[in-house]
Amino acid sequence: MELVLYYHPLPLADPSRLRSILAAHGAELRVVSHPQLCRPLGELAGLSGLSVPPSAREYPRPAEPVMVFCGFSRERLDTVLDAFKACGAPAALKAVLTATNQSWSLSRLADELQAERAEIARSLQGGK
């Protein structure tokens, strides 16, 4: 099953446009609430049999929207991302659910993505 885990820092943000785009492509949108930010991504995606110890580190609540694509092939992911772009979907940190990150919380994933973005920006500025 293809689904997108979606978090938005503004609780009243309306995900209906994203939900419509995904439904048109046979995929589901699952909104992640503030209390679920510390739960493992795999659990939020409905994977069974996960035995994940709680993280000892607290991660900040993401300051921007986050999308985690679960169960998409590369081709299907490209198709959905193109549809998001064509419809003016809101900007968000994006990632694919993997064997490595399925035990991470959404907050940890967002923290990693933001750090990666900052590193890329530094390298583009000549490593300053």
27 vs 6: CA distance, rounded Å: 13
- Looking at residue 59, what is its pLDDT? 84
Work out the end-to-end distance of the chain between its first and last CA atoms, rounded to an integer number of angstroms.
Answer: 43
- Looking at residue 48, what is its pLDDT? 78
Instruction: Give the tens place of pLDDT for each residue, 18-75.
Output: 999 999 999 999 999 999 998 999 999 999 776 656 566 778 899 999 999 999 999 9
- Looking at residue 90, what is its pLDDT? 83
- Looking at residue 52, what is its pLDDT? 59
CB neighbour list of residue 56: distance below 8 Å, 6 or more residues apart: none
- Looking at residue 44, what is its pLDDT? 95
Instruction: Give the tens place of pLDDT for each residue, 64-113.
Output: 999 999 999 999 999 999 999 999 888 899 999 999 999 999 999 999 99
107 vs 54: CA distance, rounded Å: 13
Q: What is the CA radius of gyration of the chain?
A: 15
Domain range list for the chain: 3-124
Statement: the pTM of the whole predicted model exceeds 0.95: no
CA angle 73, 79, 92 (to 5 degrees): 90
